[in-house]
A and B are shown apart, each in its own frame.
Chain A
Amino acid sequence: MTQKIFQADLEALKNYLCELVRPHISEQAESWLNQQSGKLQNDTTNKTLYLSFSSAPRFVGKIPINFTADLLAKANMIRAGFNPSGWTTDRAIRTYFLLFIPVARQENYIKTIETLFNSADIDEQVALYGALPLLPFPASLSRRAKEGIRTNMIPVFESIVLNNPYPAEYLEENAWNQMVLKAVFTERPLYKIYNADQRVNPHLAKMLSDFAHERWAAHRMVTPELWRFVAPYLDDFYLTDIKKILHEGTAFEKEAGALACSKSDYPAAKSLLQQYPELKDKAGKDDFSWNKLGKDYYAVQ
């Protein structure tokens, strides 16, 4: 099987990333950028790459980038799911520098990327993992993505898991499930996981239900977003969970229970929802969705 080499047009990406930072940086920084870009064309030892990647914040700062809806839409055009909202100037420019790594030989490419990963500080790791959906040879990077998910550094974990299309497209089921479970465990906003609904699976549903039981046994809460991943597999077993949250849950959990039932084809779920007319009405509304539930829930956490 031939593997896909490019996930996006690298030149279009480079132009886009420069467009993002340009309004925020000085002329001096821009000339540094141009100078480094020139040097990177003939960077046989990777020295320019390593130094420019590390020292980017010294020149372009760590300024939050202003995004318009158009700018974000453009990102999504260049690479479906690419969402740089919340990026800072240094992160964009580090990503830009990564796009100069020669792709002639996959083996060399991966070696260079791995060197950067292995010696990265926190912000550099955030930039590197956030660039996974943009880098060439995506299939070869899945081992690295799995390694990143094992981190305990929250910003690093988030850079892979949230607003990043790479995991849904390239992680195999076990790794994907571990990632979602860890996101639940560390209370990250699940609605920001890209294309999460496309990767639901029975094994994940069981793991999450088990997790909820474990938490309940310890008299702790679970995020109402968890039920999004159980909902497609409602049966008598999971319906016991849903009954519990509909009956004694918080307002958000009740909404989650209603959402799960309303999206389910399981007859018992439909009839369960009948017992909660108010929730049933709410669930029938157009703007009632898992994403909205997630946003509302995290807005008050």
Chain B
Amino acid sequence: MEEALIFLDSHVHMVSRTTDDYEAMKKAGVVAVIEPAFWQGQPRTEVGTFKDYLSMLIGFERFRASQFGIKHYCTIGLNAKEANNEALAEQVMELLPLYLCKDGVVGVGEIGYDDQTDAEDKYFRLQLELAKELNLPIQIHTPHRDKKAGTTRTMDVIIEHGIDPTMVIVDHNNEETCKEVLDRGFWAAFTIYPHTKMGNERMVEVLRQYGPERIIIDSAADWGISDPLAVPKTAALILQSGLPAEYVTLTCYKNPLDAYSKSGQISESDWQEATSIDQTQLFEGNSILRGGQSPQLENGNASNIIK
């Protein structure tokens, strides 16, 4: 590779990841991450734990990322699963305005449907209105089950609320949902997540068919068996497959940047001018920051494939 590639992983749950992951991501060229607020595996039963989680996304996790030279952004919202606990959901909705206008909050998310219940529908719509009022991008979680119909319904509801599709990133797409999402003018994000969502060989074929326009590749790495290097690995695979380098730049960097920069809260200059800020954050005299590292991709290596 003549020029080192840089990546923006626009969907990754760093609170569940280790410092080894941060280090590996930095080394592989990830310059920035977006962490959507989501379910943490164990359902929350108190609004206080929700509040502390949201504070973590804009506080300690952001700081932790900065120690590795990675810029951390987030989207804030009430996820579909926990929307089903209505007593809790009501209180969480009251919290959201406190967080949505904070620095580095690049959207409302991840929101959408899980089981497609009435409660999910109610809080999805309320949050769409909130996003509209604050002019923020929306990061959509499409359901794992009944995905195709759920994705269609999600988009119908968004249009019904008068929201511009270019403000909406529909995530967790697959071969079945992709065409409609793109045809209707939304951003189509693909999560490269082993065994469940997309594999990256399939991703290459999707790109071959649709081209890179409005397509975004992310990892959604979290507390499950997932891969925080999914974006750089997929990028390597795309290049290996003989697709144009521009496909990588667009899907793994430029497209998510364009989509989320509509919030006014993320810009390339954030990481291009970041060093002077990070140097004040040495801890115990040590910094993991190393300027001028050249990102490394395991080019031509079978381990880049995520099934």
Q: Which residues of A contact B (CB under 8 A)?
A: 47, 50-51, 54-55, 57-58, 115, 118-125, 152-155, 185-187, 301
Contact = CB atoms under 8 A, between A and B. Distances in A.
B59 A152 contact: no
Contacts of A186: 283-284
Interface string B48-62: 000100110011101
B282 interface: yes
A131 B62 CA distance: 22
B99 interface: yes
B59 A54 contact: no
A155 B101 contact: no
B228 interface: no
Nearest to B277: A155
Given A50-B97, A153-B60, A153-B63, A121 B284 contact: no
A125 B59 contact: yes
B284 A185 contact: yes
Given A121-B62, A153-B63, A154-B280, A54 B102 contact: yes
A55 B101 contact: yes
Contacts of B59: 120-122, 125, 153
A157 B51 CA distance: 22
11 contacts: A47-B97, A58-B264, A118-B51, A119-B51, A119-B95, A120-B59, A121-B58, A125-B59, A152-B283, A154-B283, A186-B284
Contact of B54 (A47, A51, A119, A124): A119
Nearest to B95: A119
Identify which of B55, B62, B102, B281 gathers the most chain A CB atoms within 10 Å of its CB.
Answer: B102
Interface in B16-57: 51, 54-55
B225 interface: no
B143 interface: no
Nearest to A187: B285
A243 to B, nearest CB: 26
A91 to B, nearest CB: 12
A118 B285 contact: no
